[in-house]
């Protein structure tokens, strides 16, 4: 009986760890919230959830976002995709030195001019692995492969697009990304550790 309860606690801890790890394994675009008219720095976080390197990442831009500037990343080349009018419709990053290894992640950044109307931006991303598998992050919020979404709220009264962009592309975005990274990396450890501690305490109480 004691062994059964102890095993149940261990299994529960494992389940929590697996669930938390899966929850943070999505391709996500940060920040999750920004302002209208801002020149925002967007960061695409790409984790590897397979035992194969990720070698290519494609991101489609929302139709109401204008993008013309990208941050170069060592070990990766990039290419803008364009429509017939010459508008940049997406970015494709391709690994030139092995790509992202299992249990690792990388972040790709670019600057976009937000629309002037409040609403949301839906990001469709495509993650290609070295074995040819492609994960399409294009589904709804409840799907296994959801598209990342950024909410656009109205900027402060009297704030110009350029001013909003300067503030959004520096401190808010950096803080948002750092906070998200810290919480997503710490939560699985805390949850799994707590479950294990509870199961061990329960075992010793039974023995006592």
Q: Is 117 helix (H, G, I), strand (E, B) or coil?
A: coil
Question: 9 and 195 in contact (C-beta within 8 Å)?
Answer: yes
pLDDT digits (tens, 9 = 90+) for 2-28: 544 444 443 344 443 344 444 457 999
Task: Report whether pLDDT(155) > 50.
Answer: yes
Indicate the pTM of the whole model.
Answer: 0.69
Architecture of 27-185 per CATH?
Answer: Sandwich (2.60)
Query: Do the Cβ atoms of 125 and 137 come closer than 8 Å?
Result: yes
Indicate the domain borders of the chain. 27-185
Q: In this prediction, what percent of the chain has a pLDDT beyond 90?
A: 62
Checking if the pLDDT of 125 tops 60, the result is yes
SS3 label, residue 90: strand
* Spatial distance between the Cα atoms of 208 and 113, rounded to a whole number of angstroms: 64
């Amino acid at each position: 009986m004691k062994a059964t309860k102890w095993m149940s606690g261990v299994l529960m801890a494992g389940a929590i760890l697996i669930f938390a790890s899966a929850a943070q394994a999505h391709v996500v675009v940060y920040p999750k919230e920004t302002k209208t008219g801002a020149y925002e720095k967007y960061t695409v976080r790409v984790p590897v959830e397979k035992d194969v390197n990720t070698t290519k990442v494609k991101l489609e831009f929302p139709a109401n976002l204008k993008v013309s500037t990208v941050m170069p990343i060592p070990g990766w080349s990039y290419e803008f995709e364009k429509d017939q009018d010459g508008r940049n419709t997406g970015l494709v990053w391709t690994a030139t030195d092995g790509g992202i290894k299992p249990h690792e992640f990388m972040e790709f950044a670019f600057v976009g001019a937000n629309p002037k109307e409040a609403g949301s931006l839906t990001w469709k991303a495509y993650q290609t692995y070295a074995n040819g598998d492609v994960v399409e992050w294009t589904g709804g919020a409840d799907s296994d492969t959801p598209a990342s979404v950024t909410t656009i709220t109205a900027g402060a009264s009297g704030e110009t697009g350029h001013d909003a962009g300067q503030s959004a592309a520096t401190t808010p975005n950096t803080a948002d990304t750092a906070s998200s990274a810290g919480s997503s990396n710490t939560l699985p450890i805390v949850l799994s550790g707590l479950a294990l501690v509870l199961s061990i305490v329960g075992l010793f109480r039974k023995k006592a």
